[in-house]
Amino acid sequence: MTYAPLPALPADARIYLRPCAFVDSPIGLDGRAARLGQGLLWFSAVELTAMRGGERLHRAMIPIEHLEVALAALPDATHARAMLEGFSRNRPPLTLGERVIRFDVPHVMGILNMTPDSFSDGGKHLGDPSAAADAGFAMHEAGAAIIDVGGESTRPGAEPVWEGDEIKRVVPVIERLARAGVPVSIDTRKASVMEAALAAGAHIVNDVSGLLHDPRSAGVVAKAGCPVILMHAPSSGDDPHAGASYSDAALDVYDWLAARVNEAVAAGISRDNIIVDPGIGFGKTLQHSLAICNALAMFQGLGLPVLFAASRKRIIGALSNEAPAGERLGGSVALALHAVQQGAQMVRVHDVQETRQAVHVWRGLRDTAIMAG
């Protein structure tokens, strides 16, 4: 790959890097390939984008062996170097009860909604904690590393749920799963629900508002010392889809997540306990979501595990003749595999068995390619 020196850029240009030009194996490519997120992927170039005030000033593909020269020529490479360090930063394992989750391989999170109105499986398990727990056990047996239990739908137009009702929906299910040693996350925006779920045995908080909806949430997570998933949504109000506005969806979401991570750390949450989620479909058009999917490897620049959640979402229907939610398996698996190929450490899905099988096959291909050199 040829390299042309960068043009003169202003001192206030903000530089972003995205890993690209992935290679089968690093063997024989010393100094010409870098590992992404301590996983099974190596990249041989980065896409460098220079931005100022929402305007793209320059974009270039730079081979790894020329990257240091390119960065040294920039008036300010602080942000770019931080991203580069994030690409290679170790993601420490999470200890969730009896289970240790390492991030050198991708994992599957299973979705278990205890709601009447979720867009795909609303009402399926509501009112029957025993049957819901059995569904969670089945997903765990099928290979889900974590079961994500939620009691409030966050689909567009969903009505808010009183926290007492949300607690009644999720706690009996979490108790059953946790007693059996199944790692559980609680999908909620409310501090009181987080507290009740953690007391019932949940191990992770998964908040679609990035801990902004409830002012007590960050303190609850910090006090518990538990892992947390910070997801991007344009609004922290009752409707997480409201008020969306982007100059560049992928870069804006990246900056938002970077700020939320710093604020969470300032609130007492360990950086090693944070997972990020770009929030596919939340206040994002089809084009916004597609842009984020294509730029997903860039989010590894945060130096944290990335969760990707697009299972059965509107993006699939929009690209497949408006297929209803129950008929989006193929698209869901395709997006999950794309995310894994871009370095995502975890994918959140409804269809655990099919996704897990696809990830196993992908891992077999990667292992063979790496060893063959």
DSSP per-residue string spanning 284-349: --HHHHHHHHHTGGGGGGGSS-BEE--TT-HHHHHHTTT--GGG-HHHHHHHHHHHHHTT-SEEEE
Single out the catalytic residue among 312, 313, 356, 366: 313
Any domain includes 365: yes
Number of domains within the chain:
2
Q: Which of 88, 89, 106 is nearest to 42 (CA)?
A: 88
pLDDT for residue 162: 93
pLDDT digits (tens, 9 = 90+) for 42-54: 999 999 999 999 9
Q: Is residue 104 part of a domain?
A: yes
Quickly state the pLDDT bin for 126 (edges 50, 70, 90): confident
Please report which residue ranges of 24-103 form alpha helices under DSSP H: 64-72, 78-88
Final residue in a domain of this structure, among 42, 61, 88: 88
Q: What tens digit of pLDDT does each residue of 144-178 get? A: 999 999 999 888 878 889 999 999 999 999 999 99
Retrieve residue 12's tokens: 């206030």
Last residue of a domain, one of 88, 115, 139: 88
pLDDT score, position 121: 64
Amino acid, res. 317: G
Residue 236 counted as domain residue: yes
Model pLDDT, residue 123:
60
Q: Which two tokens stand for residue 310?
A: 């697009």
Q: Please tell me the number of Cα atoms within 13 Å of 170 on its side-chain side.
A: 36
Domain assignment present for residue 44? The answer is yes
Q: What is the mean pLDDT of residues 230-237?
A: 95
**Does residue 289 share a domain with residue 249?**
yes
Residue 81 included in any domain: yes
Same-domain pairing of 170 and 312: yes
Burial (CB count <10 Å: 0-12, 13-18, 19+), residue 22: middle
142 and 122 within one domain: yes
Domain that holds residue 83: 14-88
Inside any domain, residue 6: no
Query: pLDDT tens for residues 75-123?
Result: 999 999 999 999 999 999 999 998 999 999 999 999 999 987 665 565 6
Identify the H or E element spanning 22: strand 14-23
Q: Are 175 and 145 in contact (CB under 8 A)?
A: no
Q: Are 311 and 349 in contact (CB under 8 A)?
A: yes
pLDDT value at residue 119: 57
Give yes or no: residues 345 and 266 share one domain: yes
DSSP letter at 242?
Answer: T
The verdict on 116 and 73 lying in the same domain is no
Asked which of 88, 114, 148 is the last residue of a domain, the reply is 88
Confidence of residue 23 (pLDDT cuts 50, 70, 90): very high
Q: Which of 189, 312, 348, 356 is catalytic?
A: 348
Q: Are 126 and 152 in contact (CB under 8 A)?
A: no
Q: Say whether both 311 and 198 belong to one domain.
A: yes
Residue 118 has a pLDDT of 60
> Is 18 noted as a catalytic residue in this protein?
no
Q: What is the percent of the chain where pLDDT is above 70?
A: 98
Do residues 57 and 112 both lie within one domain?
no
- Domain CATH number, residue 332: 3.20.20.20
Read off the pLDDT of residues 57-73 as tens digits, 9 standing for 90 and up: 999 999 999 999 999 99
Q: Does residue 82 share a domain with residue 137?
A: no
The predicted pLDDT at position 3 comes to 77
291 and 344 within one domain: yes
- Structure confidence at residue 122 (pLDDT): 56
Q: Is residue 5 part of a domain?
A: no
Task: Quick: pLDDT tens for 294-352.
Answer: 999 999 999 999 999 999 999 999 999 999 999 999 999 999 999 999 999 999 999 99
| CA–CA distance, 113 with 206 (Å, rounded to integer) | 13
| DSSP 8-state class, residue 51 | E
- Residues 83 and 98 reside in one and the same domain: no
Question: What does the pLDDT read at residue 160?
Answer: 86
Supply the DSSP string of 122-168, one letter for each residue: TTSSTT-HHHHHHHHHHHHHTT-SEEEEESS--STTPPP--HHHHHH
Any domain includes 7: no
The phi and psi torsions of 23 (rounded to 5 degrees) equal -120, 155
Please report which confidence band the pLDDT of residue 362 belongs to, taking 50, 70 and 90 as the band edges: very high
- Residues 99, 161: one domain? yes
Active site residue 363: no
Q: Is 168 found in the same domain as 58?
A: no
Share of the chain above pLDDT 90, in %: 90
